[in-house]
């Protein structure tokens, strides 16, 4: 089955772990590509390729300063993703909190038995 | 031995266009998490969260066996899911299909769920990887999570849990 391109929108752009890593680094401030190459331990062409994808979906902005191109994070496109996934995540949180309560009880039963099944 | 009832948080990520990955740690050994995941009367107590009550939990836990869950939602309607078990490694891994029963849905819309239970130091990391047949189905599943009533907090369930002690 053919997979859709992973670069069409911000949702997919952040599905790639390396690109999330780039966003994490840029969250600390504006950086030239060489800094990213060093922090990520990737070759420059790979970093540039990820940066291109991030720029295409608006997650990263670039400006020229002298001979350097400085990249910075633009968090706005992330907001809808956050909101979108958050509702789903919240429903699992609810469910898992109820599961925690069940597990607490199972643990008590096991410990209270005086029989560890050994 | 008392364990601190720490609160954990589920993390949802989208590894590819057709996948959802849900991870969560539990302060319990994995045989108990597995038991709570696969025993109908226990599933009834957590699967609905605070969004309703479980009306039906049928689990035929063997490869090729079917499952079906029906929830009475707080909104007054029923929602139902069913599927088939594809792989079962007790206390370790379950692979099953899942179809949300709604008009027009067919088994070709089934997602494939792989849940793995990993234990370290008496705690369990659960990873549920949902593989959907298309990005559209994946997106529809994510959006379904927003409909539920999650306004109220866990007071009710906590009360129930305390009353059972």
Examine the domain organization and report whether A68 and A35 are in the same domain: yes
| Token pair in block for residue A95 | 């469910």
Residue B145: predicted pLDDT = 58
The rounded mean pLDDT for chain A is 83
Residue A6: predicted pLDDT = 46
Residue A10: predicted pLDDT = 75
Indicate the pTM of the whole model: 0.67
Examine the domain organization and report whether A45 and A96 are in the same domain: no
* Domain contains A3: no
pLDDT tens for A49-104 read 999 999 998 889 999 999 899 999 887 777 777 777 888 888 899 999 999 999 99
Strands of the A60-65 sheet, one edge to the other = A31-32, A68-73, A60-65
Residue A79: predicted pLDDT = 73
* Domain contains A65: yes
Examine the domain organization and report whether A98 and A117 are in the same domain: yes
What is the domain range of residue A58?
10-73
Domain count, chain A: 2
Residue A104: predicted pLDDT = 96
* Domain contains A95: yes
Examine the domain organization and report whether A37 and A89 are in the same domain: no
Residue B1: predicted pLDDT = 38
Examine the domain organization and report whether A117 and A66 are in the same domain: no
* Domain contains A104: yes
**B5 interfaces chain A, CB cutoff of 8 Å:** yes
| Spatial distance between the Cα atoms of B44 and A3, rounded to a whole number of angstroms | 37
Examine the domain organization and report whether A57 and A92 are in the same domain: no
Examine the domain organization and report whether A41 and A60 are in the same domain: yes
Examine the domain organization and report whether A93 and A111 are in the same domain: yes
**B79 close to B70: Cβ distance less than 8 angstroms:** yes
Examine the domain organization and report whether A68 and A84 are in the same domain: no
Q: Is residue A3's pLDDT more than 80?
A: no
Examine the domain organization and report whether A89 and A114 are in the same domain: yes
**B10 close to B150: Cβ distance less than 8 angstroms:** no
* Domain contains A2: no
Examine the domain organization and report whether A30 and A68 are in the same domain: yes
Q: How confident is the model at residue A20 (pLDDT cuts 50, 70, 90)?
A: confident
**B154 interfaces chain A, CB cutoff of 8 Å:** yes
Examine the domain organization and report whether A63 and A94 are in the same domain: no
Residue B74: predicted pLDDT = 84
Q: Which domains does chain B have, with CATH numbers?
A: 11-146 (3.30.530.20)
CB spacing of B165 vs A87 below 8 angstroms:
no
In A, residues 96-115, which contact B (CB 8 Å cutoff)? 96-108, 110-111
Output the tens digit of pLDDT for each of chain B's 165 residues.
334 444 478 888 888 889 999 999 999 999 999 999 999 999 999 999 888 999 999 999 999 999 999 999 888 888 899 999 999 999 999 999 999 887 777 888 899 999 999 999 999 999 999 999 998 888 888 877 544 433 332 333 333 334 444
Residue A4: predicted pLDDT = 44
A contacts of B155 (beta carbons < 8 Å): none
**B69 close to B82: Cβ distance less than 8 angstroms:** yes
* Domain contains A19: yes
**A58 close to A74: Cβ distance less than 8 angstroms:** yes
């Amino acid at each position: 089955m053919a997979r859709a391109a992973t670069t069409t929108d911000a949702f997919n752009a952040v599905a790639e772990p390396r690109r999330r890593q780039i966003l994490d680094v840029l969250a600390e401030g504006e950086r030239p590509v060489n800094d990213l190459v060093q922090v990520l331990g990737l070759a420059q062409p790979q970093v540039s390729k990820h940066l291109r994808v991030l720029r295409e979906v608006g997650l990263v902005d670039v400006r020229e300063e002298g001979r350097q191109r400085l990249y910075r994070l633009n968090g706005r496109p992330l907001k809808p993703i956050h909101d979108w996934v958050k509702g789903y995540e919240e429903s699992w949180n609810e469910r898992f909190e109820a599961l925690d309560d069940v597990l607490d009880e199972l643990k008590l039963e096991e410990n209270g038995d005086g029989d560890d099944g050994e | 031995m008392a364990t601190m009832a720490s609160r954990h948080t589920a993390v949802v990520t989208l590894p590819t266009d057709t996948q959802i990955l849900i991870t969560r740690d539990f302060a319990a050994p994995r045989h108990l998490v597995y038991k709570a995941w696969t025993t109908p009367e226990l599933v009834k107590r957590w699967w609905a969260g605070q969004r309703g009550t479980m009306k039906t939990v049928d689990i035929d836990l063997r490869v090729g066996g079917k499952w079906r869950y029906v929830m009475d939602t707080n909104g007054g309607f029923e929602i139902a899911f069913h599927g088939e078990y594809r792989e079962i490694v007790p206390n370790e891994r379950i692979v099953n299909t899942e179809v949300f029963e709604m008009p027009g849905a067919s088994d070709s819309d089934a997602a494939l769920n792989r849940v793995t239970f990993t234990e370290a130091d008496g705690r369990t990391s659960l990873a549920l990887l949902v593989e959907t047949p298309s990005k559209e189905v994946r997106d529809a599943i994510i959006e379904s999570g927003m409909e539920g009533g999650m306004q109220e907090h866990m007071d009710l369930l906590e009360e129930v849990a305390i009353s059972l002690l």
